Amino acid sequence: MKTIRIKYFTDKIEKLRYIDGKSDWIDLRAAETITLKAGEFKLIPLGIAMELPKGYEAHIVPRSSTYKNFGVLQTNHCGIVDETYCGNNDQWYFPALAMRDTTIECNDRICQFRIFEHQPTLVFDETDDLAGADRGGFGSSGKQ
């Protein structure tokens, strides 16, 4: 089990915990109330900073209900925080683009994260022939 040091920037959000015992993803919450008009962008503070273990990174993605509940998209699709972003002022943020007028209340769950080990160093071996089955060259179905 890894221990991660965490700094909270506010006492207005719930402390981090696993998602109701159902998943190894952990919800993140808006650290302040944010009101956005359709088309507006805002970095929403998540109220935390962490010292991730060396060789690890956090992947931050929207919750499955984020768009339905708030009408916002995460503009970087998947945020990556590595272990070097670990200072006292290195608060995590959710980059939100509002697709409709919306208000996100302080402590609303808007995204989630999971920690991964860094990808190992890879070596690419160039070839003109791959041994796998040819599936048509487009997506999982091979159809365009």
pLDDT at 131 over 90: no
CA 64 to each of CA 50, 72, 112: distance values in angstroms, whole numbers, following the listed order: 24, 12, 9
- Tens-digit pLDDT profile for residues 80-110: 999 999 999 999 999 999 999 999 999 999 9
> Where along the chain do its domains lie?
29-117
3-state SS, residue 95: strand
Indicate the average pLDDT of the chain.
92
User: Per the residue annotation, which of 82, 108, 129, 134 is the catalytic one?
Assistant: 82
Q: Which two tokens stand for residue 19?
A: 């998602």
Query: DSSP secondary-structure letter at 121?
Result: P
pLDDT of 85? 94
Give CATH for domain 29-117: 2.70.40.10
- Tens-digit pLDDT profile for residues 11-64: 999 999 877 667 889 999 999 999 999 999 999 999 999 999 999 999 999 999
Instruction: State yes or no: is 90 an active-site residue.
Output: no
d(CA 24, CA 59): 12
